[in-house]
Amino acid sequence: MQRAIEAVRKAKLNLLVMTDVCLCEYTDHGHCGIVKNEVVQNDATLELLVTEALSHARAGADIIAPSDMMDGRVGAIRKALDANGFQDVAILAYAAKYCSGFYGPFREAAQSAPQFGDRRSYQMDPANVREALREVAMDLEEGADMVMVKPALAYLDVIRAVREEFDVPVGAYNVSGEYAMVKAAARNGWIDEQRVVMEIMTGIQRAGASIVLTYHAKDVARWVKG
């Protein structure tokens, strides 16, 4: 990650660099934090998340996006960034990240699926929208500049609730499972891929998202330009 950021900077590309900060990609157990006796250790994990975030900022990241859902990580990262001269590096907090079945294709590709249990102890209950508002409020109080709702399609009501409650940029993550369903249906000739993708993007934006992260991004850019 750090070498990739540095390469982008050395190439002098006119790009905004946003980086995901989490530990699941780097652990053999697939959880987003330090594990002891099969229990994720929230506070101990914060130290590693801070170290990771600082390394991204030093490499040239513009926006740090912690996706781990550990309590207090936004405040810890903001404090460390400010103390090390990175006051202008923004934080996009994955504030409402649900324990979802839609992450499957990504986890398979990244080999980051949990090797035991699941992530219910730190990701959110899909049935709960009020908790999402509390999580967003806490992340903003700790210094987040923007917030993310993940996934997008089954949580359009959450995006709308966050948009109506808070006057900050709201992101929505159109995740791998949502993408894969569209691609599979299009491959089988069941849907018009371009039409359905643009309808999905419009729906996410209509719900209140000002930022959409999606695996369809390159296709959408080409279709919009075309």
Kindly list the catalytic residues.
97, 150
Residue 212 contacts residue 168 (beta carbons within 8 Å)? no
- How far apart CA 107 and CA 67 sit, in angstroms, is 14
Q: Give the H or E element holding residue 214.
A: strand 211-214
- How far apart CA 6 and CA 17 sit, in angstroms, is 10
User: Exposed, middle or buried: residue 185 (CB in 10 Å: 0-12, 13-18, 19+)?
Assistant: middle
Q: DSSP readout, 114-179?
A: -SSS-STTTSBPTT-SHHHHHHHHHHHHTT-SEEEEESSGGGHHHHHHHHHH--S-EEEEE-HHHH
Structure tokens at 121: 């102890």
